[in-house]
């Protein structure tokens, strides 16, 4: 049972909303998550489903306009509503984040050595020289050659893949316990993606840092994550071991999402299948299941919002229909 485990990070009923002209924009609604020591939890969903909002909420960086409710516990300590100084002490020190676009996450005006070192100098009180030494070590860890020389470069002098590796090294500077990855490979070429994923895998093998890996790329998630949470319209709709979820998705959305992966083993007309329709407007979420308007299995009960329920073993689903995975798959064809 998830409740019984002593989680490193325990998120309950986390909601984030922003004021909008047509009522509040619900970016995240009642999300539950548990992250254990050394674990890698994947979060998958379309763009705009609230993945990035989830990570920002964990760091308390949603901005002053956001309304954040629920509970975020780090080793039992409630972070929501904690003193700003306490949050700042955790950020970058215990919980570090890698952003989606390395070219905009790095300050173009500063040398990368400076940017790598500043977190460690602040949190660990390292001297400038010691921090730069540690930075060089970490650049080596993320497989950047001639690290000492690279420290003197500016972000624009690095390639995209190199920049992303620098931001990964930056996140690891203070040996955090939790690493938040926000689509770290999306902005990169496919071959570079593979290199960056390999770097992340080897870092996890060496440091055992617990990781929350957010992506819309199932393949990338599968290389790192052991468990997966599927998000739709700001809600978690399915959770479970990644293999089980892949083999037998129990939510119609997950089923459709997996079907939309290109399948080169099938004849051309069947290789790609799309989910018809659009994700809902976050300002006007339906009262019931948010996926109902696009769902092939929609029925009257869907007017009521389904809760995330345990189905088999550790596998949780938020759906009223109790059909087995195979039947749900058939409904899409």
Partner 1 sequence: MLRFLLRRALSAVPTLLVIATLAFVLLHLTPGGPFDSERVLVPQIQHSIEARFHLDEPLWRQYLRYLGDLAHGDLGPSFQYRNTSVNELIAQGLPVDVAIGGTAMLIALLLGGSIGLLAATRVGGWRDRLPMGLAMLGISVPLFVTAPLLILVFAIRLQWLPAGDWVSGSWRHLLLPSVALALPYTAYIARIVRSAAIEALASPFIRAARAKGLPSLTIVLRHALRPTLMPLVSFLGPALAGVLTGSIVIEQVFGLPGIGRFFVTGALNRDYTLVTGITVLYGALIIAMNVLVDLCYGWLDPRVRARQ
Instruction: Note the residues at the interface with partner 1 (CB under 8 A).
Output: 59, 61, 87-93, 96-97, 99, 101, 104-111, 118-119, 122-123, 154, 156-157, 167, 170
Q: Rounded to the nearest whole angstrom, what is the least distance from the CB of residue 115 to partner 1 in the complex?
A: 8
d(CA 58, CA 23): 24
Decide whether 157 or 198 has the Cβ nearer to partner 1: 157
Compare residues 21 and 109 and give the one whose CB is closer to partner 1. 109
C-alpha 233, offset from chain centre: 15
- The minimum distance between CB 281 and partner 1, in angstroms, equals 24
Q: Is the CB of 105 or the CB of 214 nearer to partner 1?
A: 105
Question: Cβ of residue 108: shortest distance to partner 1, in angstroms?
Answer: 6
CA dihedral sign, ordered 130, 134, 136, 137: positive
Between 89 and 148, CB nearer to partner 1: 89
Q: How many residues does the chain have?
A: 333
**Spatial contact of 253 and 325, defined as CB atoms under 8 Å apart:** no
Quote the Cα angle for 289-291-293, to 5°.
100
Minimum distance, C-beta of residue 143 to partner 1, in the bound complex (Å)? 22
- Give whole-number Cα distances, 18 to 100, 108, 232, 239, in Å: 22, 30, 18, 26
Give the whole-angstrom CA distance, residue 88 versus residue 134.
21
> What is the rounded distance in angstroms from the CA atom of residue 194 to the CA atom of residue 223?
10
Residue 54: Cβ-neighbour burial (10 angstroms; 0-12, 13-18, 19+): buried
Instruction: Give Cβ neighbours of residue 124 (< 8 Å, ≥ 6 apart).
Output: 93, 131, 174
Spatial contact of 117 and 128, defined as CB atoms under 8 Å apart: yes
Q: Which is nearer to partner 1, 87 or 283 (CB)?
A: 87
| Least distance to partner 1, CB of residue 109, Å | 4
Nearer Cβ to partner 1, position 43 or 90? 90
Token readout for 240 is: 């479970």
Strand ranges for 55-110 from DSSP E: 67-74, 77-78, 95-98
Question: CB of residue 119 vs partner 1: minimum separation in angstroms?
Answer: 4
When the beta carbons of 90 and 228 are compared against partner 1, the nearer one is: 90
Q: How far is the CB of 313 from partner 1 (least distance, A)?
A: 35
Nearest approach in angstroms of CB 118 to partner 1 is 7
Cβ closest to partner 1, residue 104 vs residue 278: 104
- The DSSP element (H or E) to which 259 belongs, if any, is helix 252-259
């Amino acid at each position: 049972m998830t409740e019984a485990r002593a989680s490193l990070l325990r998120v309950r009923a986390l909601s984030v909303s922003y004021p909008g002209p047509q009522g509040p924009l619900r970016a995240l609604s009642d999300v539950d998550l548990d992250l254990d020591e050394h674990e890698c939890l994947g979060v998958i969903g379309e763009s705009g489903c609230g993945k990035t909002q989830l990570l920002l909420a964990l760091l308390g960086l949603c901005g002053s306009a956001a309304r954040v409710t629920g509970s975020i516990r780090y080793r039992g300590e409630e972070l929501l509503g904690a003193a700003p100084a306490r949050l700042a002490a955790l950020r970058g020190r215990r919980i570090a984040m890698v952003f989606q676009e390395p070219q905009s996450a790095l300050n173009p005006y500063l040398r990368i050595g400076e940017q790598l070192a500043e977190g460690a100098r602040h949190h660990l009180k390292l001297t400038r020289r010691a921090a730069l030494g540690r930075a060089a070590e970490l650049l080596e860890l993320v497989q950047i050659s001639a690290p000492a020389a690279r420290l003197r470069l500016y972000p624009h002098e690095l390639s995209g893949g190199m920049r992303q590796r620098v931001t990964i090294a930056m996140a690891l500077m203070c040996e955090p316990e939790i690493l938040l990855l926000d689509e770290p490979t999306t902005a990169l070429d496919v071959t570079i993606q593979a290199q960056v994923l390999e770097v992340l895998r080897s870092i996890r093998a060496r440091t055992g840092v617990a990781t929350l890996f957010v992506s819309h790329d199932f393949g990338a998630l599968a290389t790192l994550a052991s468990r997966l949470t599927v998000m739709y319209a700001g809600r978690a709709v399915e959770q479970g071991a990644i293999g089980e979820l892949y083999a037998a998705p129990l939510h119609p959305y997950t089923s459709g999402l997996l079907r939309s992966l290109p399948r080169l083993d099938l004849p051309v007309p069947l290789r790609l299948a799309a989910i018809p329709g659009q994700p809902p407007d976050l300002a006007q979420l339906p009262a019931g299941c948010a996926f109902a308007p696009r769902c092939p299995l929609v029925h009257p009960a869907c007017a009521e919002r389904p809760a995330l329920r345990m189905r088999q073993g550790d596998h949780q689903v938020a759906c009223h229909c109790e059909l087995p995975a195979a039947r749900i798959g058939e409904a899409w064809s």
